[in-house]
Structure 1
Amino acid sequence: MKSEKELKIRCWIDIDGRKFFGPGRAELLMMIDKNGSLSKAAKEMGMSYRKAWSMVEDMNQRGNRPYVELHKGGTKGGGAELTETGKKVLATFQKMTDKINETVEKHTNEMLGLI
């Protein structure tokens, strides 16, 4: 019987031993950028608004600068947008993740063949 082998890599950033930024938060930033709304981003991800808001607050407070600017409701309703810092962090994380995935893909067959 042949075993099914899979090589998985996940990358995230810790600050003071606590998870800070990884694939889930990157996806949240992408959805905020796409939708212009935290509630729409959360809904599209199947996440509660409260959890999404908590994640944004954590990034904004623990990062060097805020990643997301939230706008309160009004005649046009509320909204959310990435700050320049948020855009740079997201782009850099995506670029880094792409490079990691390329490297893993390049060596997967060799590695799994040894196991």
Structure 2
Amino acid sequence: MPSAVKTSAPAPAPRSSVAEKSASRTSADRPQFRLRMRVTVGEAIAVGPGKVALLEAVEAHRSISAAAKALGMSYRRAWLLVDELNRSLKEPAVTAAAGGVHGGGTELTDVGRQLIVLYRRIEERAMSACEEDIRRLTALVSA
């Protein structure tokens, strides 16, 4: 009677160190830290990353419709966000002129421009102040 041949599974590959994994990752594969600040009033988000991005797009395109298109959202969604933002603030961030022969137009007010500057400055300072902890935190994440 033939003897049974015992086969063994291949030995597992040695685990890479975190440093080796980090070195071989592309930037798209690396863990990314994103800060998503919001100012809320009750359950409503008065100011958040989406509204700030929309304000930036309105400033660039001078149109809610063009801003919406640039951000891949519907005009209705953009209009509702602008309306909600304006109602949340003491003074509006966006003013719009009615359409006409040459179309309407949308402009940021001083409050809208100030909101963008403050939001982005807080983001930048928070990221800078926490840089070392963010690096350590993302190093714990495998990709």
Which residue in the other structure is 2:126 paired with?
A: 100
Q: Which of 47, 52, 55 is matched with 2:78 structurally?
A: 52
Whether 1:21 aligns to 2:41 is no
TM-score between both structures, scaled by the size of structure 1: 0.86
Aligned residues: 115
1:92 alignment partner, SS class: helix
Compared with structure 1, are the counterparts of its residues 61 and 94 closer, same or farther at alpha carbon in structure 2 (3 Å cutoff)?
Answer: same
Whether 1:71 aligns to 2:97 is yes
**Larger Cα-atom Rg:** 2
Superposed CA RMSD in Å reads 2.1
Larger mean Cα displacement after TM superposition, 17-26 or 44-53 = 17-26
Give the structure with the larger helix fraction. Answer: 1
Which residue in the other structure is 1:30 paired with?
A: 56
2:54 alignment partner, SS class: helix
Larger mean Cα displacement after TM superposition, 98-107 or 33-42 = 98-107
Distance across 2 between alignment mates of 1:31 and 1:47? 12
% of aligned pairs identical? 29
Which residue in the other structure is 2:7 paired with?
A: none
Distance across 2 between alignment mates of 1:76 and 1:34? 18
Gaps of 5+ in 1: none
| Residue 113 of structure 1: how far off its partner (Å) | 5.7
Q: Write the letter of the residue equivalent to 1:52.
A: A
TM-score between both structures, scaled by the size of structure 2: 0.71
Gaps of 5+ in 2: 1-14, 19-29
| Residue 84 of structure 1: how far off its partner (Å) | 0.8
Whether 1:42 aligns to 2:48 is no
Q: Write the letter of the residue equivalent to 2:57.
A: M
Distance across 2 between alignment mates of 1:28 and 1:5? 26
Find runs of 4+ consecutive structure 1 residues off by over 6 angstroms.
none
